[in-house]
Structure 1
């Protein structure tokens, strides 16, 4: 099938926000134990499947953050 044969159509977009109560951040970290179970989504701060090292790095970064400035989280 070539691109000429297909009808022009935008891809479907899925909107998912963090499942943590009270958080309205974009849920970019999803997890599902199997394809039969719907994926649950969290922001990085609330993602429950971080390693201990990732959790400690996030904690240090949050403690060192200056109030009012943007905070970026790099994934190692």
Structure 2
């Protein structure tokens, strides 16, 4: 099939907005997970994403601690 044989796009693509499912968190939920196609996807921000590996969790802790130190220096 050639590009000229495809029908024209009639509707603009829809953007889905997912926010973190953690109570009180207003961050963008860019990390989704679902055990199967029958179960709706749940979305989290990276900080609250429950499916991180141990190494990813340690890296997040280091970044948060560094940010906390930087914040303390500026105050």
TM-score, normalised to structure 1, is 0.78
State yes or no: 1:18 paired with 2:20: yes
Gaps of 5+ in 2: none
How much does 1:7 deviate?
4.5
- Structure 2 distance, partners of 1:67, 1:8, is 49
- Moved beyond 3 Å, runs of 4+: none
The alignment's C-alpha RMSD in Å is 1.8
Bigger Rg, which one: 2
Cα distance in 2 between the residues matched to 1:57 and 1:34: 29
- The unaligned stretches of length 5 or more in structure 1 are 69-76
How many correspondences in the alignment?
67
More helix by share: 2
